[in-house]
């Protein structure tokens, strides 16, 4: 169903029992013969391991480990240093060399424009 490295979006519950949306890289699916519905195991951008029910997991629309709401926030409010690292790892090879080195352009602005393009906003 999923391949290692796919971006997966799904729902799980936080420590208060509230449903939350999580996005991350697919790692594996559990294989517990006692369970009818297996868990999909993902790793989030902040390196947390999260288990989500297989029925709640789907391929992420975007090719980065952020929800649509997080992408909107980055477009409108700026990109944090941690987000920059993740985005640069993903899109750095597409960024012009001078921009990547901050000589001829702003890499944060370039990534923000790229997010706008990826989201199709």
Predicted pLDDT at 102: 93
Where do the structural domains in the chain lie, given as residue ranges? 7-59, 68-119
pLDDT digits (tens, 9 = 90+) for 35-87: 888 899 998 878 889 999 888 888 776 677 777 788 889 988 999 998 999 89
Q: Express as a percent the part of the chain with pLDDT over 90.
A: 26
Beta-bridged to residue 22, according to DSSP, are 10
Instruction: Assess whether pLDDT exceeds 60 at residue 121.
Output: no
d(CA 75, CA 17): 30
What burial letters (b/e) apply to 70-108, b meaning 16+ CB within 10 Å?
bbeebbeeebeeebeebbbebbeeebeeebbeeeeeebb
């Amino acid at each position: 169903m999923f391949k290692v490295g796919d971006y997966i979006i799904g729902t799980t519950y936080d420590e208060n029992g509230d449903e939350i949306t999580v996005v991350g890289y697919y790692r594996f699916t559990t294989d517990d013969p006692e369970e009818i519905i297996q868990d999909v195991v993902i790793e989030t951008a902040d390196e947390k391991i999260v288990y989500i029910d297989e029925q709640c997991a789907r391929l992420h629309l975007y090719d980065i480990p952020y929800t649509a709401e997080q992408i909107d926030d980055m477009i409108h409010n700026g990109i944090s240093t941690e987000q920059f690292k993740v985005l640069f790892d993903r899109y750095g090879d597409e960024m012009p060399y001078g921009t990547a080195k901050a000589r001829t352009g702003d890499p944060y602005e370039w990534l923000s424009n790229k997010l706008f393009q990826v989201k199709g906003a």
